[in-house]
Amino acid sequence: MNEIIKQFFIYESTLQKAKDIEKDLSWINRYSARIEELNQIRVNIENKDLKTLNEIVETESRAYGWSFYPGEHGKVAEEAFWNLKKLLLNNNLISNRT
């Protein structure tokens, strides 16, 4: 679980940095949405609501799968998400359908 917590912080900081760097309001809003979803992931892990956690991660996977986030900061944020998802999978907190 410590690895997951560490990856939360990495993902959260990359999202915040990307949001701060980004100039385009539509992308800033997308990063804000990712930050809000990360908070929901955290809450659902704490509450052990694995069904909702799985749904949120599935939605986030689609958000990254359908949009290429611009610039190096976008690439780093996407990579941080996929690393978090891999940890959640490896710890059996989500299913492999996402």
52 Cα distance to chain centroid: 14
The domain of 20 spans 2-90
- Alpha helices, DSSP H, located in 22-70: 25-46, 50-66
State yes or no: pLDDT of 67 exceeds 70.
Answer: no
In a domain, 98, yes or no: no
In a domain, 95, yes or no: no
- 92 secondary structure, DSSP code: T
Task: Give the gyration radius of the chain's Cα atoms.
Answer: 13
| pLDDT given for residue 34 in this prediction | 92
Q: Whole-number mean pLDDT of the chain?
A: 90
In a domain, 83, yes or no: yes
Task: Look at the chain and report how many structural domains it folds into.
Answer: 1
98: confidence class by pLDDT, cuts 50, 70, 90: very low
